[in-house]
Amino acid sequence: MNIRLQTWFPYHIQLCMNGREWLRRSLEHSGIGFHAIGNKFLHLDDYQQAQCLLDSQQDTRWACMLTDFLPIVFPAMQQILGPYLSYYWTLWQSEWATDYIFNSPQALVPIQDSLLKHAFMTGTSTRVLRYLDRPITLNGKPHGNMNNDVSSRILGFHDGLRVRHWVDSNSVKVYTQQNVLRIESTINDPSMFKVFRHTQGQLKTQPKQRLGLRKGVADIPLRSQVSQDINNRFMEQLSTYQDTRPINEVISKLSQARMKSGKRIRGLDITGKDKALLLAIGDPSFEISGITNKELRTKLSGQYGYKTLTDKQLSSKVSRQLRLLRNHGLIRKLPKQRKYCLTAKGRQISVALPAILNASITELMNIAA
């Protein structure tokens, strides 16, 4: 950690703190063995205890801890500013990393380049907006009044590559070093994210409101949750890459009828009458908000097999199809909501189907060969 004091009014104080370095000191104090390079742990003797030590950092009373540094870094504060002025502590920038530690660099090498290229190639503007929790329209397009800048970069980093997606000044990235695969979100502008919290001075017994995330240290627990959600959405997309099973093995079981609780569940016609449905549930707009009957009807209306139906008929048909997808394990119902989200199997199909339909015969023949 380092501390910098601005030597002219208003005497800003900037602290740079590294949570992984904090963890290293905690591991040493607890007598837990580890091997680290920089701020990355290549091995830990007790991963569970290390995670507990990391989680405990969020329980810090930040305002009190930071204020305790004032007599050290600014001993003349009382004489210069008087006894009635104090500091308001904010986060100028925060980074939140999720690390996957492989057994050795050799275990990561076979997939790292392809995985990072997959992260770049699937980083469409719509997906990047959803990674960073930006709203999009029901048809999967950015809102007309949205003025966010979206960009992606891929470059060499240490012994591998780094892919970084930006929405304005906030970003999420993935890179490798030694045997560590790291996904990391960076927040410079927290107001972009909406969270449920109390307003300044509001009683804790009053209901929370959906408001912008603040820079103040009081919102550090909320910021950590938002950052982890960004990492999770990005990791879910990355998880669709490495699957060496033949496509036939993935879709054959879905195409077959099956029995459940004594009832026959028909198979899915993946390239026929159920194609539009399977393509619709893979829309990135559902990754945060969830799949609902109403929004799915909006996406399917006008498609083949749905054109001539009234709204009531379409609603009934979509309800039956949601039940069908659920019986095949492609979606699951969210607790206490009339919403659904994709399962791991559903995410695989939503990625594989567009790839199959968009591939040329030549490309498929080359892969088969």
What's the pLDDT tens digit per position in 2-23? 899 999 999 999 999 999 999 9
Q: Note the pLDDT of residue 367.
A: 56
Strand partners for 339: none
306 touches 328 (CB < 8 A): no
CA quadruple 306, 311, 315, 316: dihedral sign? negative
Please report the DSSP string for 322-339 in residue order: HHHHHHTTSEEEPTTSS-
Q: Note the pLDDT of residue 188.
A: 96
Q: Note the pLDDT of residue 366.
A: 62
Amino acid at 121: M
Cα separation, 367 vs 364, in Å, equals 5
Give the tokens for residue 351.
Answer: 């990625």
Q: At 3, give phi and psi (nearest 5°).
A: -125, 135
Q: Note the pLDDT of residue 369.
A: 52
Q: Note the pLDDT of residue 363.
A: 57
What's the pLDDT tens digit per position in 64-87? 999 999 999 999 999 998 888 889
Q: Note the pLDDT of residue 202.
A: 82
Q: Note the pLDDT of residue 125.
A: 81
Average pLDDT along the chain: 85
Give the tokens for residue 181.
Answer: 């695969």
Reported in sequence order, the residue ranges of 205-256 that DSSP labels E, i.e. its strands, are 209-212
Query: pLDDT truncated to tens, each residue of the chain (369 aa)?
Result: 889 999 999 999 999 999 999 999 999 999 999 999 888 999 999 999 999 999 999 899 999 999 999 999 999 999 998 888 889 999 999 999 999 999 988 888 877 777 887 788 777 788 888 888 887 776 667 777 778 899 998 887 766 778 899 999 999 999 988 899 999 999 999 999 999 988 887 887 888 888 999 999 999 999 999 999 999 989 888 876 655 566 677 677 788 888 888 888 888 888 788 888 888 888 776 766 688 888 888 888 878 778 888 888 888 988 999 999 998 888 988 887 888 888 878 877 877 777 677 666 665 566 555
82-88 CB contacts, 8 Å cutoff, 24+ apart: 87/13, 88/216
Strand partners for 341: 332
Q: At the top level of CATH, which class does the domain 247-368 belong to?
A: mainly alpha
Amino acid at 62: W
State the pairing for strand pair 258-260/13-16.
unpaired
Reported in sequence order, the residue ranges of 38-107 that DSSP labels E, i.e. its strands, are 40-44, 94-101
42 touches 180 (CB < 8 A): yes
Cα separation, 281 vs 350, in Å, equals 7
Cα separation, 218 vs 248, in Å, equals 52
Give the tokens for residue 75.
Answer: 């001993």
Domain boundaries, the chain: 1-89, 92-242, 247-368
Amino acid at 178: Q
Cα separation, 319 vs 4, in Å, equals 60
User: Which residue do the tokens 């970069």 mark?
Assistant: 153
Closest CA to 12 of 89, 80, 71, 82: 89
